[in-house]
Amino acid sequence: MTTTTDASVLTARFQETFGAAPDGVWQAPGRVNLIGEHTDYNEGFVLPFAIDRTAKIALRVRADSTVRMLSTFGGHGMVEADLADLEPGSGEGWSRYPLGVAWALRERGISVPGFDLLLDSDVPLGAGLSSSHAIECAVISALNELTGAGFAAEELVLATQRAENIFVGAPTGIMDQSASLRGAKGHAVFLDCRDQHVELVPFDAEASGLVLLVIDTKVSHSHADGGYASRRASCELGAEILGVKALRDVGVEDLEEASGLLDETTLRRVRHVVTENDRVLQTVEILGTRGPANIGPLLDASHVSMREDFEISCPELDLAVDTSRANGAIGARMTGGGFGGSAIALTPVGQEQQVRDAVVRSFAEAGFTAPDIFTVTPAAGALRLA
């Protein structure tokens, strides 16, 4: 999507489109997960951060139950719906996310009125940077304020998760919206997905002479498909067989015993989650003591685990990771739900251009679509702009 420059530009365009000024402008960021993949719905640990790419919405409540929505992204006309008709599966494309949030709030007893909405976003679509949750978190922040619901961030997280799980049909956890709603500039969000406890962990790559490159492979992915759901089902099966509430309750020291109880595929899925939880804890400890320059091996190990045990990588992601490491990155991994999307490469500033050039060249030689490569920094969470 093409982003506008500031809230005043979006306000003016809203007024031009809908014939009245919006009640306000809100934004919510996408996220990069530094480490901790597919651990969230297993009640484990994750370490994402909000990024400096956002979804902005201008919104005005209406006196009826009609919803009218338009995106600045070309090719999509005005979407209209009636809140009274909403049910799981309603809506198409990006419109499912604002509608899902409205549905989830109404489920919680909030009297959500109709609204007019103009969306503008520069979070890449299908890149594993949570463009959908950025939209949801911007909308729920606006509706939470305008309806007087007054929900705390923890409740907004659960409402957006329900919108995703039930309304959209994507069996996701709480990581993405937690990062978008609770992120802070210069920090990663260490989240315990069992109780929503958050600690902000300093993550200043620049101060350590590093940049975090995002390599968008252009292989689009969707959480509302069978690959994600089947991985979640394997994890639930593993927890049931091992007699625990969730895989969060299995330690690395328990894997040897688990190997005698689980079939080979389920064991590999469980092993990824258990070792990934351990890698998150190690990363948090290292960031607090020795800094970002020392987490590279954990990023590398995370990618191997996702490729070999959880089997959610793809040739483009593997090439991005391997090429980055061979050309100076100190650690690299795929990020997000998998089956496409993006990789991240923690790279010394002096090696950045070499990594960029090598990845572009390797993709061309492999016959892959040219990747989009850009840097991200930890940014603030959802907020009102105007």
Active site residue 249: no
Listed in sequence order, the residues at least 6 apart from 4 whose beta carbon sits closer than 8 Å to its beta carbon are 10, 13, 56, 72, 120
Please check whether residue 80 is in contact with residue 70, taking contact to mean a CB–CB distance below 8 angstroms.
Answer: no
CA distance 123 to 130: 8
Helices 315-326 and 352-366 cross at an angle (nearest 10°) of 140
Active-site position among 40, 116, 176, 216: 176
Burial class of 290 by CB neighbour count within 10 A (0 to 12, 13 to 18, 19+): exposed
Q: Whose CA is closest to 42, among 209, 275, 385? A: 275
CA distance 352 to 357: 9
Please check whether residue 349 is in contact with residue 178, taking contact to mean a CB–CB distance below 8 angstroms.
Answer: no
Name the DSSP class of 34.
E
Buried b (16+ CB within 10 A) or exposed e, 116-145: bbbbbbbbbebbbbbbbbbbbbbbbbbbbb
Which DSSP string do the residues of 162-203 spell out, in sequence order?
Answer: HIIIIII-----SHHHHHHHH--TTEEEEEETTTTEEEEEE-
Which tokens go with 283?
A: 């990363």
Q: How many alpha carbons fall within 13 Å on the CB side of residue 326?
A: 10
Positions annotated as catalytic residues are 176
